[in-house]
Amino acid sequence: MAESKHDKFLRIAEARTNKIIDMVRLLSNCSNKATYEYDEVDIKKIFSTLEQELKSCKSKFQDSGDKDNKFTLR
């Protein structure tokens, strides 16, 4: 039996989400001041970029049902 679209989504989204979580945990290793040197500007750049990407990703999921809406003045 072929894999349903929902099952495929669950399989792929779960794997990709876990990869992202692992990478964020790796990034947090850079917070060790005994090993690395950074300032507040560096941290703001990192988290601003991550937040923008998450916002963009989330909007793609939220807007997915709105593609058929058409403009009208009525």
Question: Taking the model in full, what pTM does it have?
Answer: 0.77
Q: What is the pLDDT of residue 65?
A: 59
Q: If you ran DSSP here, which 8-state letter would residue 2 be given?
A: P
CB 14 within 8 A of CB 7: no
Distance CA 73, CA 63 (A): 21
Judged on CB neighbours under 10 Å (0-12, 13-18, 19+), 20 is: middle
pLDDT tens string 40-72: 999 999 999 999 999 999 999 997 655 666 767
**Three-state secondary-structure class, residue 3:** coil
Question: Over 90: is that where the pLDDT of 25 sits?
Answer: yes
Domain boundaries, the chain: 5-63
Q: What is the pLDDT of residue 49?
A: 96
